[in-house]
């Protein structure tokens, strides 16, 4: 069982070793495949607002020393060829075997595949790949695929997937598990382009839903089905959703 774990909300000044001890002390280091979070600013970020660096250069060197990889959430819905060219120095800095890029935009995935072959490309949960047809189509572009949180409860889908070892499932879930629209993601994509955080939108005020807070999945059962890769969120204060 391997985990990719969240550095979201981490302060850059806090050493990564201290962060792991406080937040992930129950997970053996050899089971942590990678950390995902923000390094320096990049307009291709999505999923969460970029406010500041979460993983410093010291943190990244330390992770490499511990044989833990870096995953960059380049999950912005929008990516132009011109913008991509401007981000080449950023992409070159972290380009090495083992490191991953989480992608929503298929055009961006194609450019990255051609120019930065050592990155592992992962289809983001934001793509809402929730059927076998979508899974198989995603594997035409991506190395690995993150399924939505709700797919953990779709036993028929989980059993139908052949490439289970290339699937990432959520180890725990936050508000996205019951969200009916997920309008936050495209609004965050726009905000990370412009820096205007007032663009943020959330369906909590628009549609009624049952928000159950943070929820842990049965990993032993999911592993018994053949899945080995899991994404672990860090609960936010109040434990209604995760970083």
Range from 63-67, 139-143, 194-198 carrying the lowest mean pLDDT: 194-198
pLDDT for residue 173: 84
Q: pLDDT band for position 112 (50/70/90)? A: very high
pLDDT for residue 240 is more than 60: no
Once rounded to an integer, what is the mean pLDDT over residues 6-31? Answer: 93
pLDDT greater than 90 at residue 93: yes
Average pLDDT over residues 175-196: 68
At residue 162, the pLDDT reads: 97
Detail the DSSP E strand segments found in the chain.
Answer: 2-6, 32-36, 69-74, 100-103, 120-123, 144-146, 167-170, 172-173, 215-216, 229-232
Query: Residue 158 pLDDT more than 60?
Result: yes
pLDDT tens track for 187-238: 676 666 777 767 666 666 666 656 666 788 999 999 999 999 999 988 666 5
Sequence-distant (6+) residues with CB within 8 A of 136 are none
In whole angstroms, what is the distance from residue 16 CA to residue 34 CA?
A: 12
Architecture of domain 2-232: Alpha-Beta Barrel (3.20)
Task: Give the least confident one: 47-61, 152-166, 216-230.
Answer: 47-61
Rounded CA separation 174/243 (Å): 9
Whether 16 shows a pLDDT value over 80: the answer reads yes
**What's residue 116's pLDDT?**
98
The full length of the chain comes to 243
pLDDT on residue 51: 79
Residue 210 pLDDT: 63
Mean pLDDT of 49-72: 94
3-class state of residue 8 by DSSP: coil
What average pLDDT does the chain have?
Answer: 89
CA distance 71 to 124: 12
Q: Give me the residue spans of the domains in the chain.
A: 2-232
Q: Which of 70, 54, 51, 67 is nearest to 5 (CA)?
A: 70
Average pLDDT over residues 125-148: 96
Q: What is residue 50's predicted lDDT score, i.e. its pLDDT? A: 77
Under the banding of pLDDT at 50, 70 and 90, the label for residue 46 is confident
Average pLDDT over residues 89-107: 97
Taking the alpha carbons at both ends of the chain, their separation in whole angstroms is 21
In this predicted model, which residue has the larger pLDDT, 123 or 173? 123
Backbone angles phi, psi at 198, to 5 degrees: -70, -10
Of the candidates 161, 177, 196, which has an alpha carbon nearest to the alpha carbon of residue 43? Answer: 196
Classify 235 as helix, strand or coil.
strand
């Amino acid at each position: 069982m391997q985990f990719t774990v969240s550095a979201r909300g981490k302060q850059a000044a806090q050493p990564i070793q201290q962060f792991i001890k406080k937040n992930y002390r129950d997970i053996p280091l050899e089971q942590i495949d990678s950390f995902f979070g923000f390094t320096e600013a990049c307009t291709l970020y999505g999923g969460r607002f970029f406010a500041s660096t979460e993983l410093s250069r010291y943190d990244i060197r330390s992770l490499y020393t511990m044989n833990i990889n870096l995953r960059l959430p380049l999950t912005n819905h929008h990516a132009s060829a011109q913008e991509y060219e401007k981000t080449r120095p950023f992409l070159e800095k972290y380009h090495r075997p083992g490191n991953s890029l989480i992608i929503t935009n298929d055009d961006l995935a194609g450019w990255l595949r051609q120019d930065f072959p050592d990155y592992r490309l992962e289809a983001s949960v934001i793509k809402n790949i929730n059927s076998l047809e979508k899974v198989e189509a995603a594997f035409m572009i991506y190395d690995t695929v993150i399924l939505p949180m709700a797919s953990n409860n779709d036993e028929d889908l989980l059993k139908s997937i052949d490439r289970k070892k290339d699937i990432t499932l959520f180890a725990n879930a936050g508000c996205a598990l019951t969200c009916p629209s997920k309008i936050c993601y495209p609004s965050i994509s726009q905000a990370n382009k412009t820096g205007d955080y007032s663009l943020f939108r959330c369906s909590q005020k628009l549609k009624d839903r049952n928000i159950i807070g943070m929820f842990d999945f049965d990993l032993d059962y999911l592993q018994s089905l053949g899945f080995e890769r899991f994404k672990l969120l860090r609960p936010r204060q109040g434990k209604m959703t995760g970083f």
